[in-house]
Amino acid sequence: LAWPLRGREGCQEGRYGGTMVMRRAAYPVAGVLLLAQVSLAFSPSLLPTLRALPALRPASASRSAAPLRGGRLHPSLLATVSDKSSDVETEKKQPRVGRGVLKCKPIGVGHAAPAVRLTNEGMEKVVDTTAEWIRTRTGIESRHILDGTETVRDLAIRAAAGALESSGLKGEDIDMVIVATSSAEDMFGDAPSVAAAIGAKNAFAMDLTAACSGFLFATVTAGQFLNNGASKNALVVGADALSRWVDWEDRNTCVLFGDGAGAMVLTATETEAEAGILGFEMHSDGNGYCNLKLPFTPTEQDIGGGVTVTQGGYAPISMVGKEVYKFATRDVPRVLEEALVNAGIEASEVDHLLLHQANIRIMEVVADRLGIPMDKVLHNLEEYGNTSAASIPLCLAEAVASGKVKKGDVIACAGFGAGLSWGACVLRWG
C-alpha cells in the first residue's frame, strides 16, 4: 500500500517521489484504515472508539514511550479528524492576545507592471499548452513580464511613488519602508534604494522575504511599529519578478507567474476606533517547503591550496501543484477565520475578500467555505497571473482606483505560498 505524503506531514528524504511505502506486513491494516477514515468522514464522534484500537496506532511507536491520552491515532486518521473538525474548532476559538487591532490605517496605494504582456495565446508558442487549458485550470489569461529594459526595483519605485501620491504625504513624511520580495535586484536588498528614490530620507528601510505571503507579513510588521509609536508613517511594497526564475519548458509552472509591484502607505492612528488593521493571524510550516521552492544550486570551484568553495546560483521554481492546492484550500479558510475572530468580525460583515492571486479555483473554494459570494472576491489574476508578493497590493490598488473599494470598506486579505507560509489580515480601508 502506498499513499502520497501531505504537505503538512513533511518533505522526507529517502521516500520515493514523495510517497511512503508500507511493508507487506502492513497490508492487513490497510482495510481497517480505509474503513476508519470513511467512518470518521461521516461521524467524527467515533474518534474515542477508534483511539482504543491498537491497529490504528502507528506501528513505529515505541512500546516504552509514554502513553498518550486515549491512545495515539495513525497520522492518516489524524489528518481526517483535523480536516473534519476544523469548523467546530474555529467556533470555539477565542481572540488571541496581541493579534487584534493595530492603531494604524491604510491611506494610499499604488501599483506598477511591465509593459510586455504575454497572453495565453502567446504561451502556446513558448511551451506545449493551449490558451483554454491555462484559462480553465487557473483563471489566468495573460501575464506581464520584464524584458530587460527595466528592473524589479524600478517597478517597486513606481508603485511606491504612486502610493505616496495617493496618500497625500511627501517622501520625508515616511519613516519606515519595507519591501517584500523574493527576487530583489540586489541580494543585499532593494528597500534602501526604493526609499532613496522616493525621497524618504528620514526612513529606515529593509527587505522582507516570505514569498507570496510577503506583503501581508510586511503589512503586519509595519503595523506593529505604528501601533507602538515607533513610527508614524510606513510604506509597504510588494514586488517580484518570478518570470526570471521559472523553467520556460515546464508548462506546469511557467504559465502561472508574472512580474509586478504594489505598494501601500500606512499611518498611525490615535485610537483603536480609527484603526484600519482590525485583526490578523500568521503561520508557517517548513515541513512542506519541498512542495514549492526555488533552491540554491551551488557550483563547486577549486580556489587552490586544497580549498573548494561553492559559487552561487539557483534552480528554477519547483512546485508540486496538487499539494500546494490542498494546502491552500485547507489552511487559507482557517487562517481567515482566525483573523476574523481576532478582529471580532463575522464573515458576513466583510465587504471584500482579497486573496493572493494564485488560482481562481482556490479563490472559489475559500470563498465558498467562508460563505462569501464570489462577487465580493477581488481578483485580477486574469490579467497579471501570480505576481507573488505583489499580487495583493496590485489588486487592491486597481480596486481602489476603480472605485470598487471605498472608504470604510472591510477587506479580508490572505497571503499563502512558499515556506510554507500563510497569513490573514482584516483591513478597513481609508
For the cut 80, the answer to whether the pLDDT of residue 220 exceeds it is: yes
39 pLDDT higher than 80:
no
112 membership: H or E segment, kind and range: strand 104-112
8-state DSSP, 186: S
In this structure, what C-alpha cell is assigned to residue 124?
502556446
Q: What is the pLDDT of residue 10?
A: 59
Element (H, E) at 121: helix 120-123
Quick one: angle between helices 321-343 and 75-92, nearest 10? 30
pLDDT of 47 over the 80 cut: no
By DSSP bridging, strand 19-21 and strand 2-4 are antiparallel
CB 229 within 8 Å of CB 268: yes
Alpha helices, H only, 211-280: 214-227
Measured in degrees and rounded to the nearest 5, phi and psi for residue 77 equal: -80, -35
Question: How does strand 410-417 pair with strand 421-428?
Answer: antiparallel
- What would the pLDDT profile of 338-394 be if each residue is shown by its tens digit? 999 999 999 999 999 999 999 999 999 999 999 999 999 999 999 999 999 999 999
Percent of the chain past pLDDT 70, that is, above it, reads: 79
- The crossing angle, in degrees rounded to 10, of helices 391-402 and 152-167 is 40
Long-range contacts of 14-22 (CB under 8 A, 24+ apart): 18/290, 18/320, 18/323
In 3D, which of 29, 94, 78 has the Cα closest to residue 338? Answer: 94
Contact status, residue 18 vs residue 3, Cβ threshold 8 Å: no
Residues 41-55 have a mean pLDDT of 51
Residue 61 buriedness (CB in 10 A; 0-12 / 13-18 / 19+): middle
What digits encode the pLDDT tens for the residues 124-159?
999 999 999 999 999 999 999 999 999 999 999 999
Phi-psi region at 185: left, alpha or beta (left = phi > 0; alpha = psi -120 to 50):
alpha
Could you read off the pLDDT of 159-194 as tens digits, one per residue?
999 999 999 999 999 999 999 999 999 999 999 999
Query: What is the tens place of the pLDDT at every residue in 275-297?
Result: 999 999 999 999 998 999 988 99
Q: How many degrees, rounded to 5, is the angle at CA 274 between CA 336 and CA 96?
A: 35
Tell me the chain's radius of gyration from C-alpha atoms: 23
CB 414 within 8 A of CB 366: yes
Q: Which residue numbers are catalytic? A: 212, 356, 386
Q: Give the pLDDT mean for 260-282.
A: 97
The rounded distance, in Å, linking the Cα atoms of 215 and 211 is 8
For residue 254, count CB atoms less than 10 angstroms from its CB and return exposed for 0-12, middle for 13-18, buried for 19 or more: buried
| Residue with the larger pLDDT of the pair 64 and 241 | 241
Give the side-chain half-sphere CA count within 13 A for 143: 32
In this predicted structure, the answer to whether residue 15 has a pLDDT above a threshold of 80 is no
**34: number of Cβ within 10 Å:** 12
pLDDT for 74-118, tens place per residue? 444 444 444 544 454 445 678 888 889 999 999 999 999 999 999
